[in-house]
Structures are given as structure tokens and as C-alpha cells.
Amino acid sequence: MSSQPATPATSPLKASPSVPATQPSPTTSPATTGQNKRKHGDTSLKKPEKDVSTGSPQEQWASIQDILQRGHTVDRLSDDELAEVVFQIDRLKKSRSMPATVEKAGATKAEEQKDGDPKDKRELTPEQEAKLALKKKLHARYMRFSRSLTSGRTPKEVRKLADRDLDSDQRNFLFEHWLQANENWNASKLLVTLKNKSGKKKVGLRRWLTKADLLQKYKDEEVVQAIIDAKVNDKELCKTQVRNHPDCPHREDLKQYLCVVDDSEENYEGEEVEHTFEMDNDLDESSSDQSSDEDGQEEDEEEQESKKPKKKGKPKQPKSAKKNKKIKKSKQWTKPRTSSKQYESARGDKLLKAMKDDVEAQASLIRTERADLQRLMDESVASMPSAVDKLTTTCDKFDKITKEFWNKVNGEDVDKDTDGLLQHMYNKISSGASSIDAAMKDAQAGFQDTQKFFKGKTIKSLMRFKPGNAARDFFKTVKLPLEPTPVKVPVWEYADGEWKQASTTVPVLDIHEILSYVHCELGLQTPPEKVKEYWAHLCSHGVPFATRHPSTHANEPCRHSHIPFSLYGDECQLSADGSEKVTAMFVSLTLFRPKEVRLGHFMVFCMKDEFMVHENLATLSPILKHIAWSSNVAFDGKFPQCGPMGEALSSSKMARAGDFLAHGRAFAACELRGDWKWHERTLRLLHTPTSTCCCLFCGAEASDESPLRYYETGESAGWASTIATTADFLLHKVRPGCLSDLDCMSKSCYQPTISILF
């Protein structure tokens, strides 16, 4: 329709308005006019009976021209012919306006697609999606850091530090320490530094002085001779604090002694924050000066090399080789500063200056690598892992030399071990603050959130396991000093929509191995005189447990020589609603009383309470049997040659079979410790704190009307005559059925003392 000419359609329509529609033509007869006269009531045109739309556009237009050329006015046309003309003209107008309508509709649709659902946008490439996901993860991590500064669980030292008006560099300083601590302020090295620097501290400076220098300082020959004798007569001090003169080693009168020349006391309370940030600011200023000096030195070297005559035939080095050469030069620049020999030979202020220069150089390297990491984040995500590993290594080295510098300034030493993710797990599990399952979940979350950029092989191996048996995987991967023994126990297992009993193995540490390791490796030794004093005290007071114990009837060298130990069991609640509980047993030395009680408890086994079958001690019974067997081995004082049921031992345990425990010492279980609930469960007691008969040793009752009222005291009390013997205890105090496996400790635990902890 767009190829149809427009001029023929307009010429007839322009001529027709000049002739009035109601005025008859002079050549028209009245009869014709009357016959063709239209009805006044019919104001609409009928649709033509014949469809003129068939055929090509030229044929349609030719038929309309034939109709119009029959007469010179519109009045000479019939109603059908006039309807055909009007119909064709309307159709022509519609065809002309159609392209514009289509274009408008297309533009509207394009706008709707542009402003519509973001799902219709162009899809991102995998690299852009990875970059966007990484930015979101980094943003979420920084938001966690911001919330940790105001959290109630954050240590007060860190909150005090965060309450100040910090600039961006100081805030980044805190952020880096938070990352190094695996997002746990309690394990942060910064927190350790802040805590160690609070209060008053002595600052000392030692120098190598000759005898003449000492006489000049103290002006008293007796004092000087006493100092020299104290260092020479002590083997350890003589190795570290006495030496020949470096320049004249053959002169005896010039022998040097390491002595304190300056001893002062400073109050560091409230100043540790200033020291931390002042150190960082000093590094920024000095490192910039150092970098400019190094740049100038490199320019001078390049100028000197350019003046040298070029040798023929030598290939031109690429840019990468030049960069490697500069890196080697920088390593040579820092190597003499970081060597321990310089630290040992330097003295006083020169040593501190050299250490500070080393810290500044390392800080400059950190800033450079951090800038490279930011550049790679914007350019290429694929190259980021190597850059992150490089920056992590540099930060670790910076932290190490910074510690050495501040320890030298403050005159104190700290351990070289750092709290990593694995060490954090050890601390939580060993302190009883968390179960192995909960600690593994926390470690998994930290491992995934940091993009798995960990260098430790142990933690990487540990994170590969799927959840389900965290305790077995932990002891299988982490090489503990003691090898646990797998004990087969029944447990509850949720399968096919219901709880069913199944069997699994639980790692249990042997009592005799723990006691031997604590005695020999950790050096926690109970003096023999204290052990004999303990047994003599019990025997003098007529305690049946002590007077009838096998160790008291032994020959004189072994009499009263068994070191007493205690078994402690309890369950702890991990969740606020009490739905998650953990049952554990510990062993401790009875005569060892540390300031913190948890430091004297050594875990034997740990298990979630929801999986334990408590009916008839189904789960605890195999574990208690193994503990009873191991306690009897500790009483004999030798490593066993087979398992509790005669089975073969593992290769590591068989290697020590028949050897003496703890340099020939033996142990005896003297206490079963725990709360009422623990004793009621493990000893299968009939009497409980909530029952009327509330005592497991006698017949005391919690009733005002009973003659055996528990709150009566004195010899006339009714319950005094009902104190149970061993036979009465087994007959009347224990539930019918199976007995507790703690009764199997016939050697080590002969009627032990039962301690109830409320």
C-alpha cells in the first residue's frame, strides 16, 4: 500500500466541495433528480455490496476513477457507488497512517523494555558476576567488622579503642587485626598486646661492660666482684652473659659481662592505644622518606650503568628481568637488617634503630602489596588468590618483627605462637567452652567466608570433611599428642523420618596415657611426700576407703605411693533453651589445685546428649567400662599389652607395651566427682534430690513428719543410725538391673569417695 500514488486520490476530493450537495445540475431532469433523491432520514452510507478490496492497488483505484468519471458531480452517483468511494478513501487513509503507528508502537515497546523488569537486561559475563559477588562478600565482611566494634561481646580494651575518633588508616589497622584473628577479637594479637601493656612496667637496658666499666659505674669493688661471681658461677648465665672482648679476646681483664645499665618504671595504663597508633603513623612518614631514598639510589645506579660502555653481542634484558633484579636488590637491602646476628651484636640504641628500620621497610612493602591487591580487584579477579597469599605472608612477617621491636622497647618477651584458626579450635575444645561439633561448625564458617585462603595443611584437611561425625574427623586429622581409642557405642540416629538406634565409635582418651603424659611431658608432677601425707591423713582419720585400699597394704617402698586422681563428669548446656547439651568426663590430679579450675581438668571424652541412649546406660556403659579398665592400668603402673577385652592394640600403643608409666609412678582413683544428676545417672541411684528419700548414703527424708528428718543434726538424729554399708548401698540405693561399670575399678578405685558438686 505504500507504493500507491497519492495525487489521484486528492484531485476529485478538492473539486467536489465547489458544487453544493443539494443543488441540482442544469442538465439533470426533474425525473432523474426525483429518482435519485435520497431519503432525509437515512444519514449513513451503506457498505458496498461488492468488495472492491480484491485485486491489486492499481485495479482498485481504476474502479474508483471509473465511478467518478461518469458524472461531474457527486450527486450523479448512486448510494452504493458513493459508499464504495468513501470506503476506499477511508481505507487509503488508514494505510497511510499505518507505518507511523507501527513505528510508534515499536518505540513504545523499546521504552517498556528499557524501563521494564531488570531481568530483561543484558546478562553479565561470569567474570563480572564473580567480581560483583566478591564485592558483596567483602562489603558484608566489613559490616560485620563495624558491628563487632560496638558489640557487647567485644573485649572492653577494643571497645575503648574504637570509641575514639579514628581516621581511615587507624580503622584499617583495626580491620587487619580483626581479619588476622579470624573475626574473633578474643583471639586477636592486638588484644594480647593491649592487655600486656596495661599497668606499670619496668624498662631496662643491658650493655656489655668490662670490670673497669663496672668499677666506674658502682665505685665499689665488692659489689662488682659479687656481680661477676654471680654470672661466672652460674652455668646458664655464663653462657649468655659472659664473653671475651670482640676486639681483644685474649685479654682476661677485658672480659665483658652483660649488665643492666638503665632501669626505669613507666606507667602504661591508658597509653597502649597511643603507642599502637603512633607506631603506625611513624611508619607511614618514615617509610615514605625511605622509599624516596631508595628511588634516588636506584636512579643513581641506573645513571651509572648508563654511563658504562655497552658490550656487543649481549642480548637486551626484558622488563620482567629488570623487575626481578630490583626485587633481588630490595631483598639484599633488607636481609642484613633482619638477620639475627646483627640483633645479637648490636647494642642499645643502635639495635632499636635497626629494628625500627626493619619494621618500616616491612610496612612499606605491605602498603605496596595492598595497592597491588586493590588494582587486581578492579582488573582481574582470577589473579587475586596469589596476591592475597603474598600479602598474608608479608603481614605475618610484619607482625612478627613488630612484636620483637615492642618487646625490646618494653623489656619483655612473649611467646612466638600465634592464635590461628586451628589454635582457636584447640582453645575452645580444651577449655570446655565448646563441643567439637560446634567448634568445627565455627571453623567451617570462617574457612568459607575467607575464600579458603589458608596455608595450614591441617586446617585444609579438616575442612574437607562433610558434617556428620565431627569428633571422629577431628581426632583423625589433628595429630594430638595422645591417640584416642575408638569405643563402639549405641546412639540415636534420625533416618527415614524417625529416630532409630544405630552403632558408632566414640574417641576416648586412655586415663593411664593422660596421667603419664601430664607427668612426663607437661612436668605436672606431684611430690612423693605430698602423696604420702595425703594417704596418712586419710588413714589417721579412719576413712575406710584409705585404710582398706590395696596401696596401704603394699610393701614399704610402694606404701602410700600411688598418686591420687579424680574422675569428674557433667553435662553442660550449649543453647539458651536447653535443647543442645553435651556430656563429658574429665580426669584431674586430686592434689593439684590451680587458680583456674578448668586448667586442672583433662578431657577424656565428649558427646552430644541428644544422640545418647540413656536407658540402662546403653551409651555410657561401654565408655565407663573402658575408663574403669584404663584406671586399673594406671594403678598397675605399666602400659598394657592388650586391650580391655584382650584385643590387639594399635602399633603406636604396642610400641610402649610393658613400659613403666610416669617414670615408675602409679596412680589411684580416689574421687568420683559430679553433681546429683550425674551420680544419679551413672550409679543408677534410686534416691534423687527431688524424691522424699533424698540422700544416697543414709535413709534421711525430706519430710517434717518423718522421724528421719534430714535437717536434724547431732548423735540423736534419726538418720544417723541408717548410714548404709557397701552391701546396703548395692541392695537399697541402686536400681535393680545392671550396675554401673565404675564398680569394675577393683584395683584403682576401692570404694572411692563420692563428691557431689551443687
Identify which has the larger pLDDT, 118 or 352.
Answer: 352
Identify which has the larger pLDDT, 263 or 330.
Answer: 263
For range 234-239, the mean pLDDT = 82
Lowest mean pLDDT among 79-83, 716-720, 731-735: 79-83
Is the pLDDT score of 337 beyond 80? no
Residues whose CB falls within 8 Å of the CB of residue 69, separated by 6 or more in sequence, listed in order:
none
Longest CA–CA separation in the chain, Å: 164
pLDDT band at 275 (very low <50, low <70, confident <90, very high): very low
Dihedral sign, Cα of residue 244, residue 247, residue 252, residue 256: negative
Query: Hey, what's the cell of 82?
Result: 458513493
pLDDT band at 372 (very low <50, low <70, confident <90, very high): confident
Identify which has the larger pLDDT, 179 or 273.
Answer: 179
Query: Hey, what's the cell of 198?
Result: 596495661
pLDDT band at 21 (very low <50, low <70, confident <90, very high): very low
Residues whose CB falls within 8 Å of the CB of residue 493, separated by 6 or more in sequence, listed in order:
499, 500, 501, 502, 611
Residue pair 437/394 in contact (Cβ under 8 Å)? The answer is: no
Is the pLDDT score of 221 beyond 90? no
pLDDT at 446: 66
Residues whose CB falls within 8 Å of the CB of residue 281, separated by 6 or more in sequence, listed in order:
169
Is the pLDDT score of 30 beyond 50? no
pLDDT at 192: 62
Is the pLDDT score of 348 beyond 60? no
**How many angstroms separate the CA atoms of 373 and 614, rounded?**
56
What mean pLDDT value characterizes the chain? 72
Alpha-carbon Rg for the chain, nearest whole angstrom, is 48
Identify which has the larger pLDDT, 253 or 92.
Answer: 253
pLDDT at 259: 87
Q: How many residues does this entry show for the chain? A: 758
How many angstroms separate the first and last alpha carbons of the chain?
Answer: 101
Per 3-state DSSP, the chain is made up of helix, strand and coil in percentages (nearest 5) of 55, 10, 35
Q: Which of 754, 520, 511 is nearest to 634 (CA)?
A: 511
Identify which has the larger pLDDT, 298 or 563.
Answer: 563
Q: Where are the alpha helices (DSSP H) in 380-527?
A: 384-410, 421-430, 436-449, 457-463, 470-477, 511-520
Is the pLDDT score of 387 beyond 90? no
Is the pLDDT score of 249 beyond 60? yes
Is the pLDDT score of 165 beyond 80? no
φ and ψ at 447, to 5 degrees? -65, -40
**In this structure, which amino acid lies at residue 330?**
S
CB atoms under 10 Å from CB of 634, counted, come to 30
Render pLDDT for 87-99 as a digit per residue (tens, 0 to 9): 777 777 777 666 5
Residue pair 684/616 in contact (Cβ under 8 Å)? The answer is: no
pLDDT at 225: 87
**How many angstroms separate the CA atoms of 265 and 268, rounded?**
9
Render pLDDT for 649-662 as a digit per residue (tens, 0 to 9): 988 899 989 999 98
Strand 563-573 versus strand 667-674 pairing type = parallel
CA 485 to chain CA centroid, Å, is 29
For 494, the 3-state DSSP assignment is strand
**CA–CA distances in Å: residue 8 to residues 106, 495, 714:** 31, 88, 135
Query: Hey, what's the cell of 270?
Result: 591508658
Render pLDDT for 44-53 as a digit per residue (tens, 0 to 9): 444 454 444 4
**How many angstroms separate the CA atoms of 741 and 508, rounded?**
15
